[in-house]
Structure 1
Amino acid sequence: PNVSPLVLLGGLFLTPGCSAPRQEAEAVRREVWEKNLRRIEQHNHEEARGQHTFRLAMNHYGDMTDEEFNQLLNGFTPAQQEEPPLLFQASPALKTPAEVDWRAKGYVTPVKNQGHCGSCWAFSATGALEGLVFNRTGKLVVLSEQNLIDCSRKLGNNGCHGGYMTRAFQYVHENGGLNSEHIYPYLATDTSSCRYNPQDRAANCSTIWLVAEGSEAALEQAVATVGPVSVAVDASGFFFHFYKSGVFSSMFCSHQVNHGMLAVGYGTSQEGGKNVSYWILKNSWSEAWGEQGYIRLLKGADNHCGVASQASFPLL
C-alpha cells in the first residue's frame, strides 16, 4: 500500500537517551528514510528489467541505517561449543523429496515480532521446539521466547544482546522444560528475572544436534526428515532488511552469520525461465516483512548467506 512517509515514520524517531531536539532528529530520520526508499525503488526498477530474482519494499524499519538495524536486531553470535553435540551429517543413501514445507503440515506457529530486541536466537529456538512438540503430540503450542531470554543467561545467552540456539536448547534440557507463550508472554526486554513455572511444561528436549557445518546437503536431509530446523544467516545487508518477495540472493552476503531464523522447508521456482532452488525461512520481524514474514533464500549456491553454517535442532 502507498503510505505517506509521515505515517511510516510516525513514532519511530527518538531513541532513549537522545538529547537532540525532536525536529532535528526527525529531519535526520526522514533523510535516512528517503535514502532507503530511493535504494528500494532503484532495486525494484532493476528487478523489473530482469536483473534480480527478488523485490524490496519499504517497511517498519525504514528510518534506520544498516548499522543501527544490525545493532538492534541481529542478535546471533556463533557459539564456541562447550561440549561436543551430536553431529547430523548427510547420508548418501537418503533420498529427500524435491519440496518440503512444514507449514502445510501444521508444524509452524504464526510469525512473531521480536521488536527492538536482539532476541532472534530465542525465536529460532522456539520455532524448532514448536515443530518438535507438534511432531510428538499433534498439538501446535506457541512457546515462550521470554522464558529463554530471562532464564538462559547462565548458559551464556545475553537476552536482547544476542545468544545461541544451541544454548537455548541446552537450557530447556537442563531445566526440564519450557513454558508456553500463553503463561510466559513476550516483553521484548531482558530486565526481568526468571519466572519459569514447572507446572506448565509445554516442551522439552533431550538431545541437541548440529548440522554438519556448511553442508546444504545435510541441512536438506535434516529439514526433510526432522522438521523445522534452527539456522543462522548473514542478515546484515540493506537488501535483506527491505526484502519483500522472490528468491533472495546478494553478492554482499557472507558466511559471517548474525541472525537466527527457522528453516521450515525448501523448493524450486521458475525465475526468468530457469529453475531456482530456495530455502523457506521464517523470520521474527512480523508479517509485514518479506513474504508474510518469510523469505525464500537461494539454495544450493555455496551455502549462500551462511544458511548451513550454524544449523541445529533438538530431539526428545
Structure 2
Amino acid sequence: VFELPANYTCRSFPGPGVEHIGHHNPIREFISGADSHVDSEFAKFTDKHDKRYDNSTHERGRKDVFRQNLRFISSKNRENIGYRLSVNHLADLTDFERRSLRGKRYSGVEYNGGLEFDKTKYSLNAVPQQWDWRLSGAVTPVKDQAVCGSCWSFGTTGTIEGVYFVKSGHLVKLSEQQLIDCSWNEGDNGCDGGEDFRAYEYIQKVDGLSTEDDYGHYLGQDGKCHDKTVKKTIHLKGFYNVTSGDTQALETALYYEGPVTVAIDASHKSLSFYSSGVYYEPTCGNKPENLDHQLSKTANQSHQNSRSS
C-alpha cells in the first residue's frame, strides 16, 4: 500500500505547471485536446511580430508549422546543450522557407581578388586572448535582413563599418540596400543571395558606398539602383583574405584591423531559433560549399562572437 511521507498531501491533477503542459509533459501535445498552449503561444507570436495571413486556411497552415517548430524548441531546451532557443519571427516558416533566407551563395571561385593577409607583419604576442569591438563602439546595432537572402550584404557593411570606425573614429550605418540593388553586374543576386567579395569589387568599381540615410532605408527586397545620384561616404582600395582555418591569423586581423567578414554553416534548425548562450553544433560543416550564411566577426573570446542579421 502506498503511504505518503510525513507532512505531504495529495491534490488532484492538473496541478501547477498545467498552463505550460507542452513543456511539463511533451507527450500531451500529441493527445487531442492539448493544443491550448499552442493557441496561446501562436496568438502571442502573431501579435508580437505583426503576422497577417491571407485567409483562415493560410493561417491554419502557418499555425501547424508553428506547432512543429514550437515542439522542436521545447524539445531542444529540455536537453543540456549550453544554449537556449526561443520563438522568433521565423517560427511560422518551413525548413525550405528558412533555407531561402541563407543568402551566402557558393560559386566555386578559386581566387576572389583579395590580397593575402600576412599575419607575420604584426606583433602576434600582443594579441589579447579576449577582445570585443562592441566595447570600443565599433559595431552598429544588430540589423534585420527580413525575408530576404541578403546576409552577404550585412556581412559586408558590418565589417566596413567597423574598420572605418577603427581608422576614423566615426561610426556610420552603411547601406545594405545599395549593395542589393546595384552589385548585380559583379555577380550578386540581391535577395536571392551573393558573396561578400563581389560586394567589395562593386564598391571599388563605383568608388564608394553610401550611408543608409543617404541611399535610403533597407527594404527587405530588391529595389532599383540609384547609386549615381547619392553621396558616397566609404571609399575602398582593396580587401584581404584571411587564411581559412588559421585561427591566429583571424584573431590578429580582428584585433589590429577591425571586424572581419566570415561565413558559417547555418543549415541547422537550432541556429534559426537560437536565443542565448554559447551555440555549439557538432555537425557544422566547414567546407566552402557548406557555408551558407555570412556575418561579421566582432569579438575574440573563449568562444567565437559574431554579429548576424
- For normalisation by structure 1, the TM-score amounts to 0.78
Superposed, 1:73-152 pairs within 5 Å as 73-79=101-107, 80-81=109-110, 84-91=113-120, 94-95=124-125, 96-152=127-183
Q: How many positions carry a matched residue from both structures? A: 262
Match of 1:158 in 2: 189
CA 1:250–1:108 in structure 2 vs 1: closer, same or farther (change >3 Å)? Answer: same
* Cα pair 1:264 1:281 within 8 Å, conserved: yes
> For 1:255-282, what per-residue CA distance to the aligned partner results, in whole angstroms no more than 9, with x for missing partners?
2100111100121xxxxxxxxx211110
Match of 2:43 in 1: 6
Match of 1:187 in 2: 219
Code of the aligned partner of 2:46? L
Superposed, 1:57-72 pairs within 5 Å as 57-71=86-100
Match of 2:72 in 1: 39
SS of the residue corresponding to residue 212 of structure 2 reads coil
* Cα pair 1:75 1:163 within 8 Å, conserved: yes
Match of 2:293 in 1: 259
* Cα pair 2:112 2:197 within 8 Å, conserved: no
- The percent identity for this pair of structures is 37
Superposed, 1:158-177 pairs within 5 Å as 158-177=189-208
Match of 1:54 in 2: 83
CA 1:121–1:193 in structure 2 vs 1: closer, same or farther (change >3 Å)? Answer: same
Code of the aligned partner of 1:113? D
SS of the residue corresponding to residue 35 of structure 1 reads helix
SS of the residue corresponding to residue 117 of structure 1 reads coil
Match of 2:8 in 1: none
Partners of 1:140 and 1:40 in 2: how far apart?
A: 36
Stretches of structure 2 lacking an aligned partner (at least 5 in a row): 1-36
Partners of 1:234 and 1:9 in 2: how far apart?
A: 29
CA 1:126–1:244 in structure 2 vs 1: closer, same or farther (change >3 Å)? Answer: same
1:29 and 2:62 equivalent? yes
Moved over 3 A (4+): 9-14, 81-84, 89-93
Say which one has the larger Rg.
2
The CA RMSD over aligned residues, in Å, is: 2.1
Partners of 2:64 and 2:218 in 1: how far apart?
A: 32
SS of the residue corresponding to residue 141 of structure 1 reads coil
Partners of 1:13 and 1:199 in 2: how far apart?
A: 35
Match of 2:273 in 1: 242
Q: CA deviation at 1:89?
A: 4.8
- For normalisation by structure 2, the TM-score amounts to 0.79
Code of the aligned partner of 2:219? L
Code of the aligned partner of 2:253? A
Q: CA deviation at 1:213?
A: 1.7
SS of the residue corresponding to residue 189 of structure 2 reads coil
Q: CA deviation at 1:7?
A: 3.1
